[in-house]
Amino acid sequence: MYDVAIIGAGASGLMCSCALKIKNNNLKVLLLEKNDKIGKKLLITGNGRCNLGNYNTNISNYNSNSNISRFKQYLDIKKYLDEKNNSIPSYIDYENYIEYLKYIGIVIKQEDKRLYPYSNQAICVCKVFERYLNYLHVDIRYNYDVNKIDKKNDIFYINDDIKAKSVVIATGGKSYPKTGSTGTGYEILRKFGHKIEKIYPALTYLKTDYKYIKDISGVRYDAVVNLSVNGEVKNTEKGQIQFTKDSVSGICVFNLSRNVKKYLEEKKKVTLIVNLVPNYSEPQIEEYIKSFKDYKIQDALSGIINNKLANAISKQLKVHDKLVKQISKDQIKIVAYTIHNMHFNITQTGDFNNAQVTTGGACLDEFTDNLESKKCKGLYAIGEVLDIDGKCGGYNLSWAFTSALIVKDSILKV
């Protein structure tokens, strides 16, 4: 019989197994993974570089249907990074996941506010985990797909095969199912009476029916982007927006994508409103255009915005090929307004195959502060299977690792 069985060898399951064994090496820990290797999703994070955290990590970067303020203290790693970034942790004072990562051999570096492994390689992160799990004698079973967990007389039975005193569900969400995260954790938790908040793909592209989208395909542009729902601006992001033949993408769009599928299901009108030149006011843009009165409008605009965007906007406003001096003052006003407010009607989002995370999941209100189920003693859930998701920039791995540490002390009390 195992003391703890952890289902899923992704970011959260790997961290949880290490943390338990670091604290108590006598604990019998079993890690069950349906793939033939650990960390299949971890390997592709951060474009293969593994953006494993963010200097700005705090509760405001997360989304949930539940109140998540009780996890606030765990997610504030800024203070730690300021004070201890260059120190080597001693064996007893691990406060957060960064210290654990360092302890097992993953040296961290900061790029802007993002944290990466010094090796710049997600594969190195997986290898370090693998080595450390070996060193700690964590039992791992690969190609083991958990589809059934029962509890009888305080003992968990996994697939009628394995016995454990505690079980940690670390099966991830439903995004990128080819990495193994197919959503089975939701079914397991549902059978124990847990409420699963409706899940949606998040951190994904948004499809648009903008008439000239093909013309601007390939353009990447720094902009301020507003998400408007039924005419009300819900969120604003600043950063690079990218256009493809039928969609808008880029980190700022990913961050705005989180509730879009839900809004569309509710038949709400979703629009991305893009300010292409946030550093200049509309009157300044008007003056700029007017100073090139002998130019075609798209050529005048090309001095201030991307050439493809200049062409698309002038076509959209039916002033393409006209000289600036042939256009009325009101029309110039509209051009300047459009440069500040380019509208993209949103028709669809990427699906789970294209979404970096799942929003929704196991309702957090049904778990204690230690992430133990309130429905079933000894059952825990960590990582993306829970109803909490972060923005792009290292916040989701931060949660996966942090939640793994939250459960360890509770399990060790058993």
Ligand X SMILES: Cc1cc2nc3c(=O)[nH]c(=O)nc-3n(C[C@H](O)[C@H](O)[C@H](O)COP(=O)(O)OP(=O)(O)OC[C@H]3O[C@@H](n4cnc5c(N)ncnc54)[C@H](O)[C@@H]3O)c2cc1C
The binding site for ligand X (CB under 6 A) comprises 7-13, 32-35, 40-42, 44-46, 51, 144-146, 170-172, 175-176, 180-181, 184-185, 356-357, 383-384, 394-397, 400
Instruction: Look at the block and give the residue holding tokens 């060898």.
Output: 9
Three-state secondary structure call for residue 155: strand
Q: Give the other-Cβ count within 10 Å of 193's Cβ.
A: 11
Who contacts 251 (Cβ-Cβ below 8 Å, separation ≥6)?
237, 239, 240, 392, 393
Q: Are 25 and 136 in contact (CB under 8 A)?
A: yes
Nearest C-alpha neighbor of 169 from the set 192, 152, 153:
192
- Least distance (Å) between residue 46 CB and ligand X: 3
Cβ proximity to ligand X: between 344 and 401 the closer is: 401
- CB of 316: closest distance to ligand X in angstroms? 33
Nearer Cβ to ligand X, position 339 or 405? 405
Q: Which is nearer to ligand X, 125 or 309 (CB)?
A: 125
As measured in angstroms, the least distance from the Cβ of 188 to ligand X is 7
Between the CA atoms of 68, 73, 78 and 79, what dihedral angle is there, to the nearest 10 degrees?
160
Minimum Å gap between C-beta 356 and ligand X is 4
CA atoms of 296 and 325, how far apart (whole Å): 9
**Sign for the pseudo-dihedral over CA of 312, 316, 321, 324:** negative
3-state SS, residue 198: strand
Cβ contacts of 314-321, under 8 Å, gap ≥ 24: 315/212, 315/215, 316/211, 316/212, 320/296, 321/296, 321/297
Nearer to ligand X, 170 or 229 (CB): 170
What tokens were used for 271?
Answer: 């629009």
Residue 12 vs 314, nearer CB to ligand X: 12
Residue 247 Ramachandran class (φ > 0 left, ψ -120 to 50 alpha, else beta):
beta
State the residue for tokens 């109803």: 387
Nearer to ligand X, 285 or 397 (CB): 397
- Rounded to the nearest whole angstrom, what is the least distance from the CB of residue 275 to ligand X in the complex? 27
DSSP state of 110: E
By beta-carbon proximity to ligand X, the closer residue of 172 and 378 is 172
The residue with its CB nearest to ligand X is 10
The least distance separating ligand X from the CB of residue 85, rounded to whole angstroms, comes to: 19
Closest distance to ligand X from the beta carbon of 223 (Å): 22
Least Cβ distance, residue 154 to ligand X (angstroms): 23
Nearer to ligand X, 98 or 301 (CB): 98
